[in-house]
Amino acid sequence: MAPSGAKVVDVYRTGAKCVSGEVGDSGKPGVAYHRVGLLRVKPGRGDRTCSMSCSDKLARWNVLGCQGSLLMHFIEEPVYLSAVVIGKCPYSQEAMQRALIRRCQNVSSLPKGFGVQEVKIQQSDLLFEQSRCAVQAKRADRPGRLVPCGAAISWSAVPEQPLDVTANGFPQGTTKKGIRSLQARSRISKVELFRSFQELLSSISEDKWPDSLRVQKLETYQEYKEAASAYQEAWSALRKQAFGSWIRNPPDYHQFKGEEKVCNELTGSRVFSSPSCWTIFFPLYLDKP
């Protein structure tokens, strides 16, 4: 409902495609074009991506937390978002509540500490200057088309490494010749996050490791993820009860180790350059004559 009490009719189209196994959109004209509540993948101009849509990822975080499985070895409860703030744009509070909360609200039998959260959803009156609608408004009298920019900026409150600026999955400035070098790794790629996780482990004496890391010998990224049993149990319940068609990467994508020699072999691969599952990119739009 809008502040005035009038019902918001969402006539906007999404380029995100339904994943295989979902019912699919009706394609009918008007507001019935899309079916709501379906899992979708991000739109792309080439081969279909395996990356789930932003709202799907946020809905998953709202049940599993945004810390991922590796950090669950060291913390007692998931880390949940307390609020989601949407910039000035076509907006429906009803649609946001449905997308992030209501379609998972009946998920049950979750491990201790996990649950569907009532995240606060708000809209700001500030417009993102590089958003599609903002750029379109500025160039209304000029010919040409808009295309998403291939760059992404990731910020974190870490003094020594606050920014990660990438273009098409690689740090800005990476040349074709340098793609297979260590410097071509994004700091938020799976292999780099796994390296940071192992650095954390090496700074702690093994007798002080959590039980989940000491009961068996673990080597690969996938093995460390699977050893976070409570997280995996919660994720399994969420998939079975709400997200059964969620796209999962082929197992070999996660069968890498943290040693430098092994990680070098992954340089230039999808594991090397792709951001981890909890990252969301908001595209910038560029004029293209």
CB 256 within 8 A of CB 262: yes
pTM for this one?
A: 0.82
Mean pLDDT value across residues 160-173: 83
Distance CA 108, CA 118 (A): 15
All structural domains of the chain with their residue ranges? 17-288
Quickly state the pLDDT bin for 268 (edges 50, 70, 90).
very low
Q: With DSSP H G I counted as helix, E B as strand and the rest as coil, what are the percentages for the chain, rounded to 5? A: 30, 15, 55
CB 271 within 8 A of CB 183: no
| 168 or 87: which leads in pLDDT | 87
Burial (CB < 10 A; 0-12, 13-18, 19+), residue 154, is: middle
For residue 211, pLDDT over 60 is answered with yes
Neighbour order of strands in the sheet with 163-167: 151-155, 163-167, 170-171
| The two three-digit tokens of residue 278, written as one number | 């909890």
Mean pLDDT value across residues 225-246: 97
